[in-house]
Amino acid sequence: MKDRALVEIFAKSFSSNGGDFFPCSGYDDSARAIAGYITAATGAGASASARIFISGSLPAALKDLIEAALKKSGAEFVLDGALGGATDVCVTAFDSMMAADGAVAVSAATAPPEESLLPPVSVLFADSPETFGNIAGFLGRAGGHERQITLIAGPSKTADIEKQLINGMHGPGKVAVVAIFK
């Protein structure tokens, strides 16, 4: 019950930070959510072909299901063997969620940092992620000895020109969190 309340708070906070959140019940559900998001975010199939990289940090079974869901949706896409400069979307893993802050933590031990940084669209996935009330709870548990932790709270953005908010300055302009809660 407590976890459900935290997930609801996270959904609200992350969305207000400019991200999209998809709580799912299993791999099938997650694969459909990921494929749907990629299609909508890139216009794949409608106007373009999307180059997608699925990180090795994701379970192999989920990778196959995402590919199948993308094919089923009629999306035009190419699966990249490695993250490259032309990659449009990267699906990678995250560790934990912080509800009140609307942020997820990605440790360098879980996935290389550039996977959630370089492509214009980022999809972050976790199966039963640990959900904390806020950053204080997360950092209290983390102990601080991980070599690198990045807290991601929405898309890359800037307002450096006339305070006009523009997403996707250097990092992804669109970010989705897909998580399985059992």
Partner 1 sequence: MTRHGTTEAFDVRENSRLALADGGLRRNLDNATATALLKRSAAVAESATFEASRDAAIATREFSILRLRELLDRFRESCARNGVTLDVFDDYEKANRRVLEILRSAGADFAVKSKSMLTEETGLNAFLESNGVEPIETDLGEFIVQLAGEAPSHITAPALHKSRFDVARLFAEKLGTPYSEDVAELTARARAHLREKFLAAKAGITGANFAIAGTGQIAVVENEGNARMCATLPRTHIAVIGAEKLIPALSDLPPFLDVLSKSATGQRMNSYTSILGTPREGHSRHFIVVTKKRFEIAADPLFGEILKCVRCGACQNVCPVFRRISGHGYGFTYGGPIGVMLAPLLTDYTRAEHIVDASTLCGFCRSICPMKIDIPRVIIEHRRRLCEEYRGPVSIERRVKRLFSFGFAVAMAVPFLKKFFTRAARIYFAATKAVFGREFAPFWDVFSRRHFVPVPRKTFFERLGRK
Would strands 103-107 and 96-98 be described as parallel, antiparallel, or unpaired? antiparallel
Which residue, 108, 138, 105, is CA-closest to 124? 105
| β-pairing verdict for 166-167 and 157-158 | antiparallel
Q: Which range, of 28-36, 63-71, 73-81, 151-159, touches partner 1 by CB under 8 A?
A: 151-159
**By the rule CB under 8 A, 5 interacts with partner 1:** no
Q: Return the closest-CA partner of residue 37 out of 84, 91, 83, 92.
A: 91
User: Is residue 129 a contact residue for partner 1 (CB under 8 A)?
Assistant: no
Give the one residue of 117, 123, 126, 179 binding partner 1; rule: CB under 8 A.
117
Restricting to residues 27-86, which ones interact with partner 1 according to CB under 8 A?
85
Q: Both tokens of residue 161?
A: 């020109």
Residues that bind partner 1 (CB under 8 A): 13, 16-17, 85, 100-103, 108, 113-114, 117, 134-136, 139-140, 142-164, 166, 168-172
